[in-house]
Amino acid sequence: MFSKSLILLFSIVYSRVIAAPAGSWVPILKHPGKVQENSYIIQLKPEASKSIHLSRLASPGLTLRYSYDQVFHGYAAKLDSTGLEYVRRSSDVAAIFEDGIITTSAYEAPSKSDGLTPDPLSRFNPNLDDIRRATTAPVDVYDIGTGIYTAHTAFGGRVYWGATFGGYNNADGNGFSTCLAGIAVGATYGVTTQANIYAVKAMSDSGAAATSDMIAGINWVISSHRYYYTAHILPVMLGALGALTLALGLVSAAPTSPGECKPLSSLSFAHRPNVTSGLSTRVIFNGLTRPRGLRLDSLSNLLVIDRGVGVVALSYRNDSTCVGWEKRTVVENRNLNHGIEIGPSGGNNQYLYASTSESVFRWEYDPSSVAVVGNPVTIASNMSNSDHTTRTLILQPQSGNTSQYIIVTRGSESNLDEGAAEISSGRSQIRRFALNSSLPSGAGWAWEQGELLGWGLRNAVGIALSPDGEDLWEVENSSDNVFWRGVDVHQENPSEELNRIRLSNISSTPDAQKFYGYPWCYTAWDSSALTASSFTFSTGSQFSIRNPPETPDDAWCSADQNNIKPVLSMQSHSAPLDIVFYNAPSEGSEGYDTARMYAVNTEWSGDAFVSFHGSWNRDPPTGESSAVLMEAT
């Protein structure tokens, strides 16, 4: 709950967004009262990059307090004179506010010993009986103020501590917010007697708060729940001195179509995976047909290619009927089998991409309704194979308002596809397709019209762009039942591969210099068991499966000018299916305050995770459902 002073600040923030004229200093908007010394709230222009702005500002005189990404685009910081001068001169800045101190209205709260009894509440608002409305609606109320006495029996166990801003203790030493919480959700006299309420403490026990702390509290509420709820601001009380106090209620939005929600409490592993220290696992949904590719939309709905169904969405729910993930079908197309991507459309909606073995499609997608808009557009086609039918997709670049390309993989037609030795076959390749206005109508780009990024890649199921966007990394499923000069070496060979495709000069690189070896050249993993054979290649060495005098031979495959070797060799037959670079939230980045609560080990930032399917072509089998972490270099 917050006071009139803060509401007035918001009206200033949203109306005063015109930057100072070029060459002039941005004025500092004064607060009519006490302020936090050397503390300011900075609103950036919509087009400004916060991370770049803050990197230029970085100095001993900067103490970043909060990064705001929900209430408005900006941050709060303590600044010395040099930092303040930079901010005032910066073309990124729309407005600067003093970090004023705001207070609750005059109020004598009942003590905890008095409790939220009917008498104090009735005396405080004698009209409660007229406005009280018991309801079972799934409503969550957020009290942003002095905190709540969570153990009070009047709440019936429906009060939770959400977050604290300003360095205070997690307790209400004032009583103001506890009383208002009782008016809102008290079991007997509350406006809504079944709602949950969350305490967000941003005020001291004396009832005072820095404006920056209050905004941080509101930012936390919106960012924590905006993905699953529609926000409504509900006036509940006018204080004795006229300070307007509001409760922020987040009410579940009705889904666009009926969905199936499975309570998390009802789900468990048939076989729980083993994970490294510091990580945990849980089942969030089961009963899908054949789930493959995964992507999160801008509102954190999990989009899944469910082979034999199409695209389904899993959206988190936390209401009186279900605490779990709700499944809805977004696209019905039984031929969609693996590839999925989502990215910017240039407008408020996003673009959803998905693939069959033959084509790549794009839909306009509304994340707020979890639904596609209109009919699909074909981006690329003419990609059918009799085997290795998945087409992995990734956008380039992966951030910003537009994507210039979509990158698509296509595997071989068989275990040993001799035809893939010719670029003209179109198989065992990775290509990218322009997403600009030149996109042909109808069937879109033909496969051979895409720009060749790499070939001789047997089955590139997993691809990822490096964090800097300069390289495409690929995990390779190599061949089964491999022989070398008549010797069966398949038990421990060939290696699975991690390959690097350098994109900086790819358009000027001759196609012959984009070759990664398949179908003739392979990478050794382990020759130690082949003691009676001359197959003595060390891990990572290249060998040819052609029998002399046929070419290419071992020497040809080992030459750098002929064949690009993998960056890393991996256990044979482990079948890598995906690679993802982990981008940990960094202080000052968009959404940092929320993201850090859910992030895994931030020391892994920039590293790559690879998942493995495991293979039948080894006795005993290897690699099933495992994952590894590799340091980025």
Strand partners, 314: 302, 327
Residue 54 CA from chain centroid, whole number: 22
Mean pLDDT of 193-198: 76
pLDDT tens digit sequence for 74-102: 999 999 888 898 899 999 999 999 999 98
pLDDT value of position 633: 52
Q: What are the boundaries of each domain within the chain?
A: 1-104+123-251
pLDDT value of position 421: 97
pLDDT value of position 48: 86
* Identity of residue 523: T
Beta strands in 390-528 (DSSP E): 393-396, 405-410, 429-434, 445-446, 451-455, 462-465, 471-476, 483-484, 487-488, 496-502, 521-523
Is the pLDDT confidence value at 430 over 50? yes
Burial bucket for residue 254 (CB in 10 Å: 0-12, 13-18, 19+): exposed
Whether CATH 3.30.70.80 fits 1-104+123-251: yes
- For residues 115 and 289, what is the distance between their CA atoms, to the nearest angstrom? 53
> What percent of the chain is modeled with pLDDT above 90?
50
Residue 563 CA from chain centroid, whole number: 36
Split at pLDDT 50, 70, 90, the class of 133 is very low
pLDDT value of position 389: 93
pLDDT tens digit sequence for 258-292: 589 999 999 999 988 888 887 888 999 999 999 99
Count CB neighbours of 413 within 10 A.
20
Q: What residues have CB less than 8 Å from 159, skipping those under 6 apart?
A: 148, 150, 152, 181, 185, 196, 197, 198, 199
pLDDT value of position 339: 98
Q: Are 509 and 561 in contact (CB under 8 A)?
A: no
pTM here? 0.61
| Nearest to 105, CA basis, from 1, 181, 183 | 1
Bigger pLDDT: 157 or 415? 415
Is the pLDDT confidence value at 63 over 90? no
Is the pLDDT confidence value at 7 over 70? no
- For residues 327 and 370, what is the distance between their CA atoms, to the nearest angstrom? 10
pLDDT tens digit sequence for 461-481: 999 999 999 999 999 999 999
pLDDT value of position 486: 92
- For residues 196 and 156, what is the distance between their CA atoms, to the nearest angstrom? 10
Is the pLDDT confidence value at 34 over 80? yes
Average pLDDT along the chain = 81
Is the pLDDT confidence value at 239 over 60? no
pLDDT value of position 174: 82
pLDDT value of position 6: 30
pLDDT tens digit sequence for 333-369: 989 999 999 999 988 899 999 999 999 999 999 999 9
Split at pLDDT 50, 70, 90, the class of 245 is very low
